[in-house]
């Protein structure tokens, strides 16, 4: 059966980004179709943000509780791993998308389940689960919101070793006895933290000198020390050459550069992601299959007047909250253009321009301790040619830190543009610092002058007092 239908907007991909595009397009009065090949809610809901944080929150809470007098005495035992995994399953809705579908239906958007491919300008062909075909024509826009996929390295033995990616790591039904994690980025460090706490003996292999290389270098020191104290083994300067798993069953052997062998029950590769654009018909509109989509600040693909690349596929910031932010902007832009509303696309503060992708991208890494950062690191700011200064402060010396935890350890840094006296970037590492980040994001995104920040008075005794201490240190 082939069905041909026309809509104002067709959205490819039903993750958080696609949902936000569809919702904003519908709010603008545009008829909207959303195409999803797996589960509505996407990677974040079922294999990334939600399950990973459901695994990590008990681990971090347990670690924190053991450093609070009167609490540590009753929480010395290990985590209840089956209970944590059951909690994770609840947060993924047991990998069912009924709730997300009900929300999408409430917006008035039409869901098409199946694989969608571009078939020339403004046209998408959907192959449904029973082989049926739907030919969808978009009057105004097609938005590609298909996200990314984990990439396994092309190494001998990988195919037969049943190596984990982030999906297997967040959905595993039991803690492996020995887990090798390859890669020191966000996924690698978070999953090393989670599974070590849940009973695995973790070995983290990092090719470089430390973990989380896109953050300030001191962040790595805190994370590596904490993982080591928790019982994990962290090895820097380590490269994997091959894997071996006889018959695809039993233990897996990780073969390092130089021939050293490490035996494990599972191995997780957290070594990169690629855009899910290899089979969506980009070649039918003159673009390269499998490529990242180059877009302007309205998320419209360069060289087109109808195609949008929103979220991870444009490679601006591979974060769920940034994808949702872009989705809101792209949906508003599509609605405005459809109604011939003039856009102030050069207005860097406008609702039709994704400027946060350049200036103020926030990110929290939910390790123990947490790491949180927004804007530029010191090295990035210096490379931009600006006259800058880094101001550091020991978070453990803040009044509220000792009340939060015994032996609190952490560090804060703000990077100051000395000519404009505004903040270009802020980084925190320490227990609970993820909740400090939005104040930093407002300061960076809003370009709040340092003289004005003096009048944002932090409550006593909270860890937020670090803002006062940073400003005092800057003024000397």
Domain membership flag for residue 49 = no
CATH of the domain at 424: 3.30.390.30
Write a three-state SS string for the chain: CEEEEEEEEEEECCCHHHHHHHHHHHHCCCCEEEEECCCCCHHHHHHCHHHHHHHHHHHHHHHHHCCCCCCHHHCCCCCCHHHHHHHHHHHCHHHCCHHHHHHHHHHCCEEEECEEEECCCCEEEEECCCCCEEEEEEEEEEEECCCEEECCCCCCCCHHHCCECHHHHHHCCCCCCEEEEECCCHHHHHHHHHHHHCCCEEEEECCCCCCCCCCCHHHHHHHHHHHHHCCCEEECCCCEEEEECHHHCCCEEEEECCCCEEEECEEEECCCEEECCCCCCHHHHCCCCCCCCCECCCCEECCCCCEEECHHHHCCCCCHHHHHHHHHHHHHHHHHHHCCCCCCCCCCCCCCCCCHHHHCCEEEECCCCEEEEEECCHHHHHHCCCCEEEEEEEHHHCHHHHHHCCCCCCEEEEEEECCCCEEEEEEEEECCHHHHHHHHHHHHHCCCCHHHHCCCCCCCCCHHHHHHHHHHHHHC
- Quote the radius of gyration of the chain (alpha carbons, Å): 24
pLDDT value for 342: 75
Q: Does 64 fall in a domain?
A: no
What are the pLDDT digits (tens) for 279-317?
A: 999 999 999 999 999 999 999 999 999 999 999 999 999
Angle between helices 81-91 and 49-65 (to 10 degrees): 140
User: What tokens were used for 296?
Assistant: 């302007």
Whether 256 and 283 map to the same domain: the answer is no
> Is residue 422 a part of any domain in this protein?
yes
| Residue ending a domain, choose from 215, 241, 271 | 271
Residue 61 lies in a domain: no
Q: Is residue 55 part of a domain?
A: no
9 and 139 fall within a common domain: yes
Mean pLDDT value of segment 61-73: 94
Q: Report the CATH number that the domain containing residue 225 is assigned in CATH.
A: 3.50.50.60
- Given a contact cutoff of 8 angstroms between Cβ atoms, the answer to whether 331 and 300 are in contact is no
Looking at the structure, tell me whether residues 434 and 331 fall in a common domain. Answer: no
Residues 168 and 215 reside in one and the same domain: yes
Q: What is the reported pLDDT for 1? A: 62
Question: Looking at residue 348, what is its pLDDT?
Answer: 52
Query: Do 127 and 33 have their domain in common?
Result: yes
Report the DSSP beta bridge partners of residue 266: 179
Is residue 228 a contact partner of residue 192, using CB atoms and an 8 Å limit?
no
Measuring CA to CA, which residue among 324, 317, 413 is closest to residue 372? 413
Segment 447-463 shows an average pLDDT of 96
- Do residues 178 and 253 share a domain? yes
- pLDDT, residue 346, reads 47
The per-residue pLDDT for range 179-235, each reduced to its tens digit, is 999 999 999 999 999 999 999 999 999 999 999 999 999 999 999 999 999 999 999
Q: Compute φ and ψ for 138, nearest 5 degrees.
A: -105, 120
Pair 16, 138 in one domain: yes
Which residue among 323, 356, 389 closes a domain?
356
Both 15 and 144 in a single domain?
yes
* Orientation of helix 98-107 relative to helix 16-27, angle to 10°: 20
- Write down the pLDDT at residue 349: 52
Euclidean distance between CA atoms 211 and 53, whole angstroms: 19
Would 92 be classed as within a structural domain? no
Ranges 131-135, 264-268, 342-346, 425-429: which has the least confidence: 342-346
Whether residues 400 and 436 fall in one domain: yes
Measured between alpha carbons, how far apart are the two ends of the chain, in Å?
74
Specify the number of domains making up the chain: 3
Give domain status of residue 86, yes or no.
no
**How confident is the model at residue 421, as a pLDDT?**
97
Q: Do 6 and 104 sit in the same domain of this protein? A: yes
State pTM to two decimals. Answer: 0.95
Of the three residues 241, 271, 301, the one that is the final residue of a domain is 271
**Same domain, yes or no: 37 and 118:** yes
Which domain, by its residues, includes 203?
159-271
The model's pLDDT over 104-151, given as tens digits with 9 standing for 90+, comes to: 999 999 999 999 999 999 999 999 999 999 999 999 999 999 999 999
Q: Looking at the structure, tell me whether residues 178 and 218 fall in a common domain.
A: yes
Backbone angles phi, psi at 154, to 5 degrees: -85, 80
Residue 51 inside a domain? The answer is no
């Amino acid at each position: 059966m082939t069905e041909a239908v026309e809509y104002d907007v067709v959205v490819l991909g039903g993750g958080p980004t696609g949902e936000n595009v569809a919702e904003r397009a519908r709010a603008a009065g545009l008829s909207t179709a959303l195409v999803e090949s797996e589960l509505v809610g996407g990677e974040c809901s079922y294999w990334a943000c939600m399950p990973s944080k459901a695994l990590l929150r008990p681990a971090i809470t347990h670690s924190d509780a053991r450093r609070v007098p009167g609490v540590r005495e009753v929480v010395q035992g290990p985590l209840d791993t089956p209970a944590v995994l059951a909690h994770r399953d609840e947060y993924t809705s047991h990998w069912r998308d009924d709730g997300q579908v009900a929300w999408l239906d409430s917006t008035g958007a039409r869901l098409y389940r199946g694989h969608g491919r571009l078939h020339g300008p403004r046209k998408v062909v959907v192959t449904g689960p029973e082989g049926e075909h739907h030919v969808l024509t978009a009057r105004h826009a097609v938005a590609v919101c298909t996200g990314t996929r984990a990439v396994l390295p092309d190494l001998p033995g990988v195919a037969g070793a049943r190596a984990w990616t982030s999906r297997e790591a967040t959905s595993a039904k039991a803690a492996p006895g020995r887990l090798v994690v390859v890669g020191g980025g966000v996924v690698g460090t978070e999953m090393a933290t989670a599974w070590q706490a849940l009973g695995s003996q973790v070995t983290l292999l990092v090719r470089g000198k430390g973990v989380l290389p896109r953050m300030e270098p001191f962040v790595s020191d805190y994370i590596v020390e904490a993982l080591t104290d928790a019982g994990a083994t962290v090895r820097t300067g380590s490269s994997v050459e091959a894997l071996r798993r006889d018959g695809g069953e039993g233990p897996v052997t990780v073969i390092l550069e130089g021939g050293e062998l490490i035996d494990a029950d599972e191995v997780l590769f957290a070594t990169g992601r690629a855009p899910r654009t290899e089979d969506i018909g980009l070649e039918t509109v003159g673009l390269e299959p499998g490529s990242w989509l180059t877009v302007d600040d309205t998320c419209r693909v360069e060289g087109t007047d109808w195609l949008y690349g929103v979220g991870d596929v444009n490679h601006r910031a591979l974060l769920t909250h940034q994808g949702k932010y872009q989705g809101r902007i792209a949906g508003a832009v599509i609605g405005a253009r459809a109604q011939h509303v003039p856009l102030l696309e050069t207005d860097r503060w406008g609702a039709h321009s994704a400027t946060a992708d350049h200036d103020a991208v926030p990110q929290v890494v939910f390790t123990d301790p947490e790491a949180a950062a927004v804007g530029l690191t010191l090295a990035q700011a210096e490379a931009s040619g600006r006259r800058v200064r880094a101001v550091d402060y020991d978070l453990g010396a803040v009044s509220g830190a000792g009340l939060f935890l015994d032996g609190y350890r952490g560090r804060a840094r703000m990077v100051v543009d000395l000519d404009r006296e505004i903040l270009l970037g802020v980084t925190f590492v320490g227990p609970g610092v993820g909740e400090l980040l939005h104040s930093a994001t407002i300061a960076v995104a809003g370009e709040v002058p340092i003289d004005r920040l003096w009048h944002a008075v932090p409550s006593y005794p909270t860890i937020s007092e670090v803002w006062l201490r940073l400003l005092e240190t800057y003024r000397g």
